Structure 1
């Protein structure tokens, strides 16, 4: 069995599309107005972005430990991603560091969603 897609609800669909295209290399496959966007990562995974319903409180947040994790092959890729993140205008609280058996960068974006970029080949 293989996980092939995930539907992520976001407060600002255009911001999320730009974020995933610019930082993670996702390609926009289909968009239905300001409601839904379908993106692919080029490795067989599909990310569906959906606008959060306007009925939700503006301060809605995912649970504290909810996160999206991305694995890369080298520590250099983690460091380069950190530079790319800064250039994009998204700050991380900490620089990448060794933790839990990998070289990892954590940061929050898109209204507080936690992201992880890790290399386990140290």
Structure 2
């Protein structure tokens, strides 16, 4: 039996000096729901679909490697474009425009208020050579 095939992603945990701002960002722009804030630690638990997002309260700013990121996937390029425009209007720090990387699907990158890089993508316009389901 391959145990790894039974695993599913449970949570992502991000340290941040401003849990409230980061939580509101995930709620407003990514549709996460704030479940609770731990009064003792100041950390927060958010839900996004079946996944948890944990925001760990820190006293000092955490330096992120410039390429570390998490990604959310949409079904269509139209949805990617729409969220890009929405985030742009909201003044979110966007690092790229929407582009198709080597035929692997359209995407863009930005940063949360705490400096974590995110990627928003679709595979709708991915070239078939990149589709693992077709190999």
> Is TM > 0.5 for Structure 1 vs Structure 2?
yes
TM-score, normalised by the number of residues in structure 1: 0.87
Q: 1:109 to 1:119 in 2, by over 3 A?
A: same
Higher RCO structure (Cα 8 Å, ≥6 apart): 1
Q: How many residues in Structure 1 have an aligned counterpart in Structure 2?
A: 117
> TM-score normalised to the size of structure 2?
0.79
List runs of 5+ in structure 1 lacking aligned partners: none
Does the residue aligned with 1:77 lie in a helix, a strand or coil? Answer: helix
The corresponding residue for 2:44 is: 37
Residue 8 of structure 2 aligns to a residue whose secondary structure is coil
Larger gyration radius, structure 1 or structure 2: 2
Conservation of the 8 A alpha-carbon contact between 1:11 and 1:110: no
Structure 2 gaps of 5+ residues are 1-6, 126-135
Q: How far apart are the structure 2 equivalents of 1:62 and 1:40?
A: 23
- Structure with the largest fraction of strand: 1
CA RMSD between the two structures: 1.5
Structure with higher helix content:
2
Report deviation, 1:110: 2.2
